[in-house]
Amino acid sequence: MENENDFLRVARHNLKGPVGLIKGYLSFWQNDDYQKFPPEKQKELVNKAIALAEKLNDLINDVFLTIALDDKVFKPSPEPIQIKETIETIYNDVLKPHYEKKGLYFKLEAKDDLPVIQSDKRYLTMVFQKILDNAEKYTDTGGVTVSLQKENGYAIIEIKDTGKGFTEEEKKTLFAKFFHGSLSLYNVKGVIDALNGQISLESTQNQGSKFIIKLAL
Amino acid sequence: MAETKTIKILFIEDENLLQSLFTDVLSLDTEFKYEVSNAASLESGLKAAETNRPNVIVLDMIIPLDGEAVPSPERGMSFIEKVKTNPSLKTIPIVVFSNLDDAETKKRAFDLGADSYLVKSESVPQTFLATLKKTLTKSGF
């Protein structure tokens, strides 16, 4: 997407979606309609509003990260990072309930012991989380395997799912802005590029996907 | 006591959370019963309109196609035109429910025959319900 107006229009449209919904849920309390729902339903409505506020937060972060990447003002802050521990933490702290709810497995296989690397922990965490989150979203049976290995001075992180995979057409625009309405994968690639890494995808429709990230050791 | 009238609504909307909020709002109404069907694309929406003959259609103007970079309201506009120029569907009122809030989009939607226009982020569920009912009354329901 080269046109700045298109970017603003779609970003604005995406950000406004959750705002309307949050207002919608809160309005039940504004006019006391919430009392008409049973207590467990009331709790569900509040939880939905909170989940939407979190989604809005992610969308705002994505828009600003895209702007920072495009304007080349994104500056990584390197610090020591243990990739295996980072991925374990993301899974246990954030993704586990979602994987378990769908009955998906999550395997983390360290083929080699990766050393501590110097990289931007915050943004690498974001990258892993977005890919693992997407893998869960597009996988209904089976699960996700993350494998770690060393090769020619690089850490290779492979994230393989048994999901629906991508079509040939989708693969062409996978890392473009607003792929499936989202800036996530555009930002994932932008961050990996800014960290002097590489990211690629191997995928066959209905046979799952494998994202491969290479980071210098 | 007279039987409560049932309103058949067709929601053309790809956002699951919005569909679920609609259903919650409608469940609070004591005046009518609601029978809700959903379509997540304009194509399936048009088919559902022909098959289910809803009393009202609620239309999201922007439903992106898979892989589409810049979703456009054009297909939504074309949907309104198709319904409003089809002799067997044209009497079904259309409530546009969209994040697009510019005057030009609204005017075009009305020119093509939309009956009401609500901006999602500016409309709380109660406004939505009131507009839905007003639109139905106007159309002679």
**Domain ranges across chain A:** 4-70, 79-216
| A62-75 pLDDT tens trace | 999 999 999 999 99
User: pLDDT tens, A137-188?
Assistant: 999 999 999 999 999 899 999 999 999 999 888 888 899 988 888 899 999 9
Residue B67 pLDDT > 80: no
Pairwise CA distance, residues A29 & A25, whole Å = 8
Would the pLDDT of B64 be above 70? no
Interchain pair A30, B124: CB under 8 A: yes
Assigned superfamily of A79-216: Histidine kinase-like ATPase, C-terminal domain (3.30.565.10)
Structure tokens at B132: 């839905």
**Residue keyed to tokens 């191997």:** A202
Q: Answer whether residue B63 shows pLDDT above 80.
A: no
pLDDT tens digits for A87-109? 999 999 999 999 999 999 999 99
The answer to whether the beta carbons of residues B126 and A31 sit under 8 Å apart is yes
Q: Which residues does A contribute to its contact with B (CB < 8 Å)?
A: 1, 3, 6, 9-10, 12-13, 16-17, 19-21, 23-25, 27-28, 30-31, 33, 36-37, 41, 45, 48, 52, 167, 169-170, 173, 176-181
CATH 3.90.1170.50, applies to B6-138: no
pLDDT for position B114: 97
Give CA–CA dist B14/A73, Å, rounded: 35
Q: Which of B21, B41, B100 to mutate to test the interface with A (most CBs of A within 10 A)?
A: B21
pTM: 0.81
Higher pLDDT, A5 or B92: B92
Where exactly are the structural domains of chain B?
A: 6-138
Q: Which residue of B has its CA nearest to A10?
A: B70
Q: State residue A143 phi and psi, 5-degree precision.
A: 175, -155
Mean pLDDT of chain B: 89
Instruction: Determine whether the interchain pair A10/B71 forms a contact, defined as Cβ–Cβ distance below 8 Å.
Output: yes
How much is the pLDDT for B81? 96
- How much is the average pLDDT of B53-74? 80
Closest chain B residue to the Cα of A171, Cα to Cα: B67
- Arithmetic mean of pLDDT, B69-89: 88
The interface predicted TM-score of the complex, written ipTM, equals 0.77
Q: Long-range contacts for A55-60 (Cβ within 8 Å, ≥24 apart)?
A: A55/A18, A56/A15, A56/A18, A56/A19, A56/A22, A59/A14, A59/A15, A59/A18, A60/A15
Give the residue-averaged pLDDT of B66-90: 85
